[in-house]
Amino acid sequence: MDDNELTVCIRTILGDYSEVPLSEIPENSDLFADLALNSLDVVNIAVAFEERFGIEIPDDDLVKFRTMGDIREYLKHKI
């Protein structure tokens, strides 16, 4: 999966939990401030990534998810 496909996948999953349109989610979007997500949303997003990519994301790693870019970099190393 190339970077563009990964970015589209991340935006799609984030869009499922945020009311922000997919086209308005830049890479530096803060999950909490810009997308109005809460900690339960982040857990659900992590589960969605686990299911989509067949990986396990430890709970301790969820604190690394602050922006869409953080998630992309994390996933690039896991998949």
Task: Judge whether residue 41 has pLDDT over 90.
Answer: yes
Tell me the Cα Rg of the chain: 11
Which parts of 27-67 fold into alpha helices (H)?
39-53
The per-residue pLDDT for 24 is 86
- pTM above 0.85? yes
Residues 46-69 as b or e (16 or more Cβ within 10 Å = b): bebbeeeeeeebeeeeeeebebbe
The per-residue pLDDT for 27 is 87
pLDDT tens across 3-39, in order?
A: 899 999 999 999 999 988 888 888 899 999 999 999 9
One-letter amino acid at 13 equals I
